[in-house]
């Protein structure tokens, strides 16, 4: 393993298991993802077969229970894995993060039957999952969602539209937040809906700035009938809490995906300025260039510390875990976007060319400041905690 990768393990002395887990993810990413990332981006190819290979290594149910086929690892292991995957391709790693979020929600909140039915299939990626919260009229204000699920005997009938759904059209199972009760968060429940259920359809694939190696589209529900056994946890009114708790971990993994992408951009920029010559010397000997690299390295280190701190809080279930996850998501995705942009700048005109890979990283990382809760909403979450002190 390279010195750069040792960095990515973070500040803790790792035991052998934790080191092997992170190094396995890094080796897999370097061999199976990195060499193809630019091609997948250009061709808008979603490499589900490669994700299934990652699943064979335990990366599709990372922090799920072992009794149903999960890997039984920690959130801290998880952020190391997602940093390693994103070092090769932030877009591919980030989809696996969303799938893991769904898998964990089923494992954590599902009935015994739901856990035993779904988690093994999700862990192998025999079933690929999508997370469906956002709607055309409810993004940041997620508790205002309008998709309805009306009870009819032993079934529910779902009607509505989910916007910007990652994996839409390809995924086999959709974790759908829908309204079974009155206005606000307490009226929301969560359902597990099959792609092939009558009444499920998909909008056109969105044309995006980045994240081209995974699909994004609307999921349309038109009188979709599901058995009441598809109500996650078997209880109405708990869906918003399930969705938000899923997002706490999702926000960490999106931040880890930014960190991996930014570290890769930094590594390339440091190597580039060490060999590029101008004004009779190497660029790296220019003091302002060194200062830029120093600031970038500092941002990466600070990001990693903050991310690992929030992962530990989530592992420990501290009362302030949601706030620490929000702080980490906001800080890391902003700081790492800036690092990636600086790495592009250090490449001069070459940074703007697709074949150098820098502009892809910048495009992919841009959306991490928007999705899984915009960085403004992260400030809302942190600000509420500050005001409540
Ligand atoms: P809005 O909520 O309309 O916000 C518009 C602007 O106003 C933003 O800048 C926002 O920060 C700001 N704003 C809103 N409220 C406040 C406030 N109170 N204070 C200050 N500023 C505020 N969603 C899913 O459910 N599943 C997915 O798989 C998924 N994948 C996505 C993939 C991509 C590529 C994209 C682009 C989005 C995806 N999303 C997904 C949706 C994403 O989570 C939303 O776009 C995001 O939550 C913001 O919602 P919105 O787009 O409706 O923006
Ligand atoms: N963790 C655990 N519980 C949470 C939580 C969190 N992060 N955030 C809110 N809750 C709970 C909260 O404690 C409350 O519980 P209770 O009813 O027991 O008191 C309940 O949820 C309602 O919370 P609020 O009263 O704070 O609800 P409000 O509507 O005022 O604000 C807000 C909620 C803005 C924090 C939430 O709507 C939000 O996070 N919005 C952003 C939406 C988002 O992140 N979308 C991402 C979509 S997925 C995606 O983009 C992908 C790429 C997959």
Is residue 236 flagged as an active site residue? no
- Token representation of residue 119: 């988690």
Look at residue 2 in the predicted model and tell me its pLDDT.
45
Fold of 3-124: Butyryl-Coa Dehydrogenase, subunit A; domain 1 (1.10.540)
- Token representation of residue 197: 């259920």
- Token representation of residue 351: 């940074």
**In this structure, what are the phi and psi dihedrals at residue 373, rounded to the nearest 5 degrees?**
95, 115
Q: What is the ipTM of this complex?
A: 0.99
- Shortest-distance atom of ligand 2 to CA 101: 53
- Shortest-distance atom of ligand 2 to CA 325: 7
Look at residue 3 in the predicted model and tell me its pLDDT.
46
* 378 in contact with ligand 2, CB cutoff 6 A: no
Specify the pTM: 0.97
Look at residue 14 in the predicted model and tell me its pLDDT.
78
* 237 in contact with ligand 2, CB cutoff 6 A: no
Among protein residues, the one whose CA lies closest to atom 51 of ligand 1: 139
Catalytic annotation, pick one of 135, 323, 359, 372: 372
Q: Where are the alpha helices (DSSP H) in 276-357?
A: 287-316, 321-346
- Shortest-distance atom of ligand 1 to CA 373: 47
Look at residue 1 in the predicted model and tell me its pLDDT.
39
CA–CA separation, 173 and 192 (whole Å): 7
Map out the domains of the chain as residue ranges: 3-124, 129-237, 241-388
E strands in 102-228:
129-132, 148-152, 155-166, 173-179, 188-194, 200-202, 216-227
SS3 277: strand
> Which ligand ends up closest to the CA of 143?
2
Chunked into runs of 10 residues, the chain (389 residues) has average pLDDT values of: 58 80 96 98 98 98 98 97 98 98 98 98 98 98 98 98 98 98 98 98 98 98 98 98 98 98 98 98 97 98 97 98 98 98 98 98 98 98 94
Architecture (CATH level 2) of domain 129-237: Beta Barrel (2.40)
> Which ligand ends up closest to the CA of 98?
2
Q: Measured in angstroms, how far is the CA atom of residue 244 from the centroid of ligand 2?
A: 5
Q: Return the CATH class of domain 241-388.
A: mainly alpha
């Amino acid at each position: 393993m390279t010195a750069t990768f040792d960095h990515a393990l973070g500040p803790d002395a790792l035991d052998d298991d934790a080191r092997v887990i992170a190094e396995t993810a890094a080796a897999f990413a370097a061999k199976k993802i990195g060499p193809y990332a630019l091609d997948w981006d250009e061709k808008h190819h979603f490499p589900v077969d490669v994700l299934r290979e990652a699943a064979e290594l335990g990366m599709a149910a990372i922090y799920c229970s072992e009794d149903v086929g999960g890997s039984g690892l920690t959130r801290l292991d998880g952020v190391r894995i997602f940093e390693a995957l994103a070092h090769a391709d932030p877009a591919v790693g980030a989809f696996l993060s969303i799938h893991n979020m769904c898998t964990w929600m089923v494992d954590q909140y599902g009935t015994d039957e739901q856990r035993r039915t779904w988690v093994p299939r999700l862990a192998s990626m025999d079933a690929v999952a999508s997370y469906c919260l956002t709607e055309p009229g409810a993004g940041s204000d997620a508790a205002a969602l309008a998709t309805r699920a009306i009870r009819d005997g032993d079934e529910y009938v779902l009607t509505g539209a989910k916007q910007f759904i990652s994996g839409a059209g390809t995924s086999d199972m959709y974790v759908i937040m829908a309204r079974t009760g009155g206005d606000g968060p307490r009226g929301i429940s969560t359902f597990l809906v099959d792609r092939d259920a009558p009444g499920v359809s998909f909008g056109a694939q969105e044309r995006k700035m980045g994240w081209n190696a995974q699909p994004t589209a609307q999921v349309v529900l038109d009188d979709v009938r599901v058995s009441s056994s598809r109500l996650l946890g078997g209880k109405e009114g708990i869906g918003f809490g399930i969705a938000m708790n899923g997002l706490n971990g999702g926000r960490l993994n999106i931040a880890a995906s930014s960190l991996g992408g930014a570290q890769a951009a930094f590594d390339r920029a440091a190597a580039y300025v060490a060999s590029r010559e101008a004004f009779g010397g190497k660029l790296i000997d220019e003091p302002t260039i060194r200062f830029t690299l120093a600031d970038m390295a500092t941002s990466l280190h600070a990001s990693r510390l903050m991310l690992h701190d929030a992962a530990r809080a989530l592992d420990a279930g501290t009362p302030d875990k949601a706030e620490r996850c929000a702080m980490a998501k906001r800080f890391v995705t902003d700081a790492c976007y800036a690092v990636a942009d600086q790495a592009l700048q250090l490449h001069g005109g070459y940074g703007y060319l697709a074949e150098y890979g820098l502009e892809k990283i910048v495009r992919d990382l841009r959306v991490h400041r928007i999705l899984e809760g915009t960085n403004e909403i992260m400030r809302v979450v942190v600000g509420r905690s500050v005001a409540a002190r």
